[in-house]
């Protein structure tokens, strides 16, 4: 019987070569755990021998054999992690504990019994559960890593909106790292859940990110356009809007009123309240605005250590009809003539009347109210909000000298005698309004030429005489009623055409 063993072994190895075909079964095992490979069960009395022939993926071979007659086990090249599960005499199952990635391969069990010889091939597949981490970067992008899994893990998102990007990296040991990124910037979810699906894990892995984790690196942005303004009449209700972009946690909104270099914090009160409106818009509501509510406002969004401040938002409260009369009211003009600036012009020339020197920043309107000597009246008005000029009964010869929003100077070209009268220019800007009154007198061209001639030839005495004559003539017409006569030549330019 002892001599029979080598012969039997040779015969069995021959059989392995002949018999080995596709594996009969696939045995999955998670790395680090105990793997058991089963053979055919036979009755104790009929068992002759069992041989496990192992060929691993890495190319190494090993043999584990048992002979029933001698009740002895032979191990050739097999490492100590491979043993019988119990006793081969009862059950010839092979166990590997702990199983390693390198153990993957074909395990052939050859069993000889009195009923015959049987061969069973099992393919051992070693599963490696991936290490799962969920991180986020400063751009609000959340990344789910399933590192070195075998087979490759699949990742999905509980808050999936189809915008995730997947990347798989294959390692030389057969494991795969799966990475899935998803942008959470627009999300209002406090929790981010990535589901890792892998056969080595009993259940899908769920990781929740706390709101603070996300918001720490998330941005807060107030989206108020530059130079935004609201207008209203006293008594109106008004809502100032402050659209806010944020990640998860709703920011706290602070409103303030700019006063010089400071911005005074505004608390809720009986006349105003800060609220949230749909679509992430913070709103400051005024129940009934007053002229005193005019000014520059700011909103600020704060989440934790993050904050963002808006551009200044202008609020203008005024009676809309304040500065722009719709009709011409001659009885209003003239005012206190003694205070009027008197301008002189010459027929056929261009007369230029500059308006008040008030700042044109935040201009609301510029209006020329004109009452001519014959009692007719006209209006030339510019409305900044409409960027439009409104002309009421004014002659075509009266117009803006330039763009009214740059310089609301009036020009009359060519000037006629009938243009004599009272001119009032009123400029209104956000800070208030200022006006300037003029009395325009017009000289006949002929008289002016004579004056100019004497001026140029240096005859001062003649000039004084002519000026006196002109002054008396005009006095006689009753224009100036005691006001000073200004020989205002700089306002007269050379004739054109
Ligand atoms: C295991 O057997 C299959 C055929 O059944 C073969 O394709 C594969 O290469 C074998 N694996 C090893 C590690 O020998
Ligand atoms: C062999 O026997 C053992 C124990 O009796 C049992 O657990 C196992 O399932 C059996 N294997 C087969 C292939 O029948
Ligand atoms: C085989 O040997 C083992 C110890 O090596 C022993 O426990 C067992 O009882 C023996 N079996 C038989 C049938 O002799
Ligand atoms: C996937 O990730 C690897 C390593 O991080 C990188 O080299 C590769 O460019 C990425 N591929 C894609 C398509 O993003
Ligand atoms: C496989 O290789 C990767 C990358 O080299 C490594 O991170 C991982 O731990 C390895 N896995 C095993 C089970 O050896
Ligand atoms: C976020 O929302 C804006 C506008 O609502 C959109 O243009 C942008 O594509 C969104 N981004 C993501 C990552 O969903
Ligand atoms: C599956 O869960 C059981 C008990 O719940 C545990 O004993 C076993 O190790 C788990 N298997 C894997 C692959 O996680
Ligand atoms: C200018 O004229 C207006 C209208 O007649 C008058 O109300 C106002 O007081 C005048 N201003 C000055 C400074 O005289
Ligand atoms: C406007 O003119 C008045 C006097 O006519 C003067 O006191 C004031 O400083 C001027 N303002 C500017 C901004 O030039
Ligand atoms: C409009 O102008 C004409 C001619 O200058 C004048 O006769 C008329 O009275 C003016 N209308 C008003 C309302 O002043
Ligand atoms: C106002 O209108 C004029 C043309 O009528 C245009 O050239 C100018 O740019 C406009 N100004 C503003 C502030 O829109």
pTM value > 0.95:
no
Q: Give the pLDDT mean for 312-336.
A: 68
One domain, residues 97 and 135 = no
Between 405 and 338, name the one with better pLDDT.
405
Residues 221-257 have pLDDT tens digits of 899 988 888 888 888 899 999 999 887 778 899 999 9
One domain, residues 334 and 473 = yes
* Whether pLDDT at 18 is above 60: no
Residues 74-123 have pLDDT tens digits of 999 999 999 999 989 889 999 999 999 999 999 999 999 998 999 999 99
In a domain, 397, yes or no: yes
Residues within a 6 A CB radius of ligand 8: 332-336, 339, 424, 435, 437
Q: Which H, E and C letters describe 261-286, residue by residue?
A: CEEEEECCCCCEEEEEECCCEEEEEE
* Whether pLDDT at 63 is above 90: yes
Run of H or E including 451: helix 445-456
One domain, residues 360 and 385 = yes
One domain, residues 296 and 402 = no
Instruction: Show the tokens assigned to 155.
Output: 């990742």
Q: How many CB atoms lie within 10 A of CB 477?
A: 11
In a domain, 57, yes or no: yes
Q: Is 3 exposed, middle or buried (0-12, 13-18, 19+ CB in 10 A)?
A: exposed
In angstroms, the CA 100 to CA 29 distance is 9
Probe residue for ligand 4, chosen from 145, 169, 179 as the CB with the greatest number of ligand atoms within 8 Å: 169
Average model confidence (pLDDT) across the chain: 80
Instruction: Show the tokens assigned to 342.
Output: 């008197």
In a domain, 325, yes or no: no
Least confident of 92-101, 107-116, 203-212, 269-278: 203-212
Indicate which atom in ligand 3 lies nearest the CA of residue 68.
Answer: 13
Ligand nearest to the CA of residue 87, numbered in listed order: 3
Q: Which of 201, 216, 231 corresponds to the end of one domain?
A: 216
One domain, residues 293 and 391 = no
Which residue is closest in CA terms to ligand 7's atom 8? 202
Rank 73-77, 203-207, 224-228, 319-323 by mean pLDDT and report only the highest: 73-77
Q: What's the total number of domains in the chain?
A: 4
* Paired strand residues for 400: 410
One domain, residues 200 and 232 = no
One domain, residues 147 and 35 = no
Instruction: Show the tokens assigned to 194.
Output: 């990535």
Q: Give the pLDDT mean for 42-61.
A: 90
- pLDDT at position 44 is 82
Which residue is closest in CA terms to ligand 2's atom 5? 91
| 296 close to ligand 1 (CB < 6 Angstrom) | no
In angstroms, the CA 347 to CA 442 distance is 6
One domain, residues 204 and 258 = no
Q: Which of 216, 235, 257 corresponds to the end of one domain?
A: 216
In a domain, 99, yes or no: yes
Q: Which of 216, 232, 248 corresponds to the end of one domain?
A: 216
Binning pLDDT at 50, 70 and 90, where does residue 53 land?
very high
One domain, residues 478 and 368 = yes
Residues 142-184 have pLDDT tens digits of 888 899 999 999 988 876 555 788 999 999 999 999 999 887 6
- pLDDT at position 143 is 85
Residues 186-196 have pLDDT tens digits of 555 556 778 88
In angstroms, the CA 161 to CA 180 distance is 13
Contact call for residues 155 and 206 (beta carbons, < 8 A): no
- pLDDT at position 135 is 80
- Give me the residue label for tokens 């609000």: 140
In a domain, 323, yes or no: no
Q: In 3D, which of 347, 368, 193, 221 has the Cα closest to residue 280?
A: 221
Binning pLDDT at 50, 70 and 90, where does residue 30 land?
very high
Q: What angle do CA 370, 371, 372 make, to 5 degrees?
A: 115
Between 217 and 434, name the one with better pLDDT.
434
One domain, residues 238 and 338 = no
In a domain, 324, yes or no: no
- pLDDT at position 207 is 56
Radius of gyration of the chain (CA): 50
One domain, residues 179 and 310 = no
In a domain, 496, yes or no: no
Q: The domain spanning residue 244 has which CATH number?
A: 2.60.40.10
| 169 close to ligand 4 (CB < 6 Angstrom) | yes
In angstroms, the CA 144 to CA 305 distance is 26
291-320 as b/e, with b when 16 or more CB fall inside 10 Å?
eebbbbbbbbbebeebebebebbbbbbbee
Instruction: Show the tokens assigned to 366.
Output: 């510029």
- Residue 265 belongs to domain spanning: 221-317
Run of H or E including 48: strand 47-56
- pLDDT at position 399 is 95
What values do phi and psi take at 10, rounded to 5?
Answer: -60, -45
DSSP 458: T
| 106 close to ligand 1 (CB < 6 Angstrom) | yes
In angstroms, the CA 490 to CA 444 distance is 17
Q: Give the pLDDT mean for 387-398.
A: 90
Query: How many residues are listed for the chain in this entry?
Result: 497
Half-sphere exposure of 297 (CA within 13 A, CB side): 25
- pLDDT at position 17 is 47
Residues 454-478 have pLDDT tens digits of 666 655 555 565 555 555 455 444 4
Contact call for residues 343 and 491 (beta carbons, < 8 A): yes
One domain, residues 335 and 467 = yes
- pLDDT at position 335 is 54
In a domain, 55, yes or no: yes
- Give me the residue label for tokens 């859940």: 193
């Amino acid at each position: 019987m002892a001599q029979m063993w080598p012969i039997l072994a040779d015969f069995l190895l021959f059989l392995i070569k002949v018999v080995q075909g596709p594996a009969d079964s696939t045995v999955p095992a998670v790395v680090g755990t105990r793997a058991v490979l089963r053979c055919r069960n036979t009755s104790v009395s009929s068992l002759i021998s069992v041989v496990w022939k192992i060929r691993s993926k890495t190319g190494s071979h090993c043999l584990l054999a048992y002979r029933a007659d001698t009740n002895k086990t032979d191990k050739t090249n097999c490492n100590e992690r491979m043993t019988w599960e119990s006793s081969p005499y009862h059950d010839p199952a092979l166990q590997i504990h702990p199983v390693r990635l390198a153990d993957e391969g074909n395990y052939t069990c050859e069993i000889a019994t009195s009923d015959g010889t049987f061969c069973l091939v099992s393919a051992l597949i070693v599963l490696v559960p991936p290490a799962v981490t969920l991180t986020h970067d400063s751009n609000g992008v959340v990344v789910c890593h399933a590192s070195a899994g075998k087979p490759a893990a699949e990742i999905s998102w509980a808050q999936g909106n189809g915008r995730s990007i997947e990347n798989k990296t294959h390692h030389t040991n057969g494991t795969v790292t799966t990475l899935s990124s998803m942008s959470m910037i627009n999300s209002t979810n406090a929790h981010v859940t990535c589901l890792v699906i892998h056969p080595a894990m009993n259940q899908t892995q769920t990781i929740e990110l706390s709101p603070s984790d996300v918001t720490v690196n998330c941005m807060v942005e107030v989206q108020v356009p530059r130079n935004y303004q609201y207008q209203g009449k006293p008594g109106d209700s008004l809502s100032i809007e402050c659209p806010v972009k944020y990640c998860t946690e709703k920011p706290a909104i602070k409103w303030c009123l700019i006063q010089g270099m400071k911005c005074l914090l505004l608390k809720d009160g009986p006349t105003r309240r800060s609220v949230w409106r749909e679509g992430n818009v913070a709103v400051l509501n005024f129940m009934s605005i007053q002229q005193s509510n005019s000014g520059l406002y700011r909103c600020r969004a704060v989440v934790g250590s993050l904050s963002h401040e808006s551009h200044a938002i202008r609020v203008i409260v005024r009676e809309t009809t304040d500065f722009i009369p719709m009709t011409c009211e001659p009885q209003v003009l003239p005012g206190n003539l003694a205070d009027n600036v008197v301008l002189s012009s010459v027929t056929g020339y261009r007369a230029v009347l500059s308006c008040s020197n008030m700042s044109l920043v935040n201009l609301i309107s510029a209006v020329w109210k004109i009452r001519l000597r014959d009692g007719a009246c006209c209006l030339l008005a510019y409305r900044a909000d409409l960027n439009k000029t409104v002309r009421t009964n004014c002659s075509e010869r009266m117009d803006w000298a330039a763009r009214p929003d740059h310089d609301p100077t009036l020009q009359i070209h060519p000037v006629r005698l009938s243009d004599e009268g009272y001119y009032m220019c009123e400029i209104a800007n956000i800070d208030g309004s200022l006006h300037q009154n003029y009395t325009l007198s017009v000289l006949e061209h002929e008289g002016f030429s004579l004056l100019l001639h004497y001026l140029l030839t240096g005859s001062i005495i003649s000039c004084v005489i002519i000026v006196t004559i002109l002054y008396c003539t005009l006095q006689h017409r009753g224009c100036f009623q005691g006001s000073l006569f200004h020989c205002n030549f700089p306002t007269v330019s050379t004739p054109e055409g």
